[in-house]
Amino acid sequence: MIENINWYPGHMKKTRELIQENLKLVDLVVEVLDARIPVSSRNPVIGELTGSRTRLTVLNKADLADPGQNTLWEKKLAENGDFVISANCNTGEGVKKILKALEQIQDKKNEGRERKKTLRMMIVGIPNVGKSSLINRLTGKKSAKTGDKPGVTRGKQWLTLSNGMMLLDTPGILWPKFEDNKVALDLAFCGSIKDEIMDISELGLELIKRLSEVHPDLLCARYKLENIEETPLLTMEAIAAKRGFIMSGKRIDYERTAKTVLDEFRSAAIGRITLETL
């Protein structure tokens, strides 16, 4: 079993300081969450840093999550007054709603002012949650580097949106220590912690265990299993047998099996799954 996952590179400490230094320059904080893990992907440090500032929450990767859960989470997260919008920033779905919400916020801030001010915002979120893809959609061009691995964005940059608003991009920020190992595993399952620092075979086994609990039907359907086995390891071996991941000497290729399950969960090939449900 994987325990005590911690990953806090030096550039994340700098990011925290960057956010603190530049908050006074913005009217609004745009926080990007992973719709599959809305709680685990919400960095508690962000709430501490941003305080009472207006916040727009984007549930990104909504196309990979359970549609019914997306709706429930939108309502839940909006209870404290935040604007909450589900989106798929790779395709642009939901971006028009985000732009409309930003215009509403700008209009409200300019009420009663003779001289109208352009809205200035900061975009924040954990690594690999899709901030750069959202920025590129909002600006209408490839302003920010994107990638399927955490840690692509490195420094701060001011960008102009297609509607003239100003946006401050920041690198993804994780927190120093995960008090709950489930949170750490959720982040690792969704790719917000680098695979390179993980034991992939163990991580894949943990994911099979979780999917056996929350969506055994989808797991069985994807890998043509008659049923979930008594233990996650036996289920993993059954998946390997179905996919032909057998090495010489009839040895199970656990790493290849783990990588396959992780990749197919992350791409929603297994199904649209929300790991944190309401």
In this structure, what is the dihedral angle of CA atoms 162, 167, 171, 177, given to the nearest 10 degrees? -130
Q: What is the pLDDT, as a whole number, of residue 112?
A: 83
10-169 against 199-266: fold identical:
no
In eight-state DSSP terms, residue 278 is: -
Higher pLDDT, 1 or 49: 49
pLDDT tens for each residue of 158-189: 888 888 899 987 665 655 455 678 888 999 99
Q: What are the domain boundaries of the chain? A: 10-169, 199-266
* Pair type for strands 54-60 and 120-125: unpaired
pLDDT tens for each residue of 222-247: 999 999 999 999 999 999 999 999 99
Q: What is the pLDDT, as a whole number, of residue 172?
A: 59
Confidence label for 154 from pLDDT (cuts 50, 70 and 90):
very low
Bridge partners, 5 (sequence order): none
Q: Which fold has domain 10-169?
A: Rossmann fold (3.40.50)
Could you give the CA distance from residue 145 to residue 250 in angstroms, rounded to a whole number?
43
Identify the CA nearest to 119 among candidates 64, 176, 165, 77.
165
Q: What is the pLDDT, as a whole number, of residue 175?
A: 53
Confidence label for 150 from pLDDT (cuts 50, 70 and 90):
very low
Q: What is the 3-state secondary structure (H, E, C) of 161-203?
A: CCCCCEEEECCCCCCCCCCCHHHHHHHHHCCCCCHHHCCHHHH
Question: H or E segment at 74?
Answer: helix 67-77
To the nearest whole number, what is the mean pLDDT of the chain? 85
pLDDT tens for each residue of 27-78: 888 999 999 999 999 877 777 777 777 889 999 999 999 999 999 999 999 9
Which of 54-63, 141-150, 178-187, 203-212 shows the lowest mean pLDDT across its residues? 141-150
Bridge partners, 53 (sequence order): none
* pTM score, whole prediction: 0.84
Q: Find how far residue 3's CA is from the centre of its chain.
A: 21
- Domain 199-266 matching CATH 1.10.1580.10: the answer reads yes
CA separation (Å) from 270 to 23, 107, 208, 260?
40, 43, 11, 10
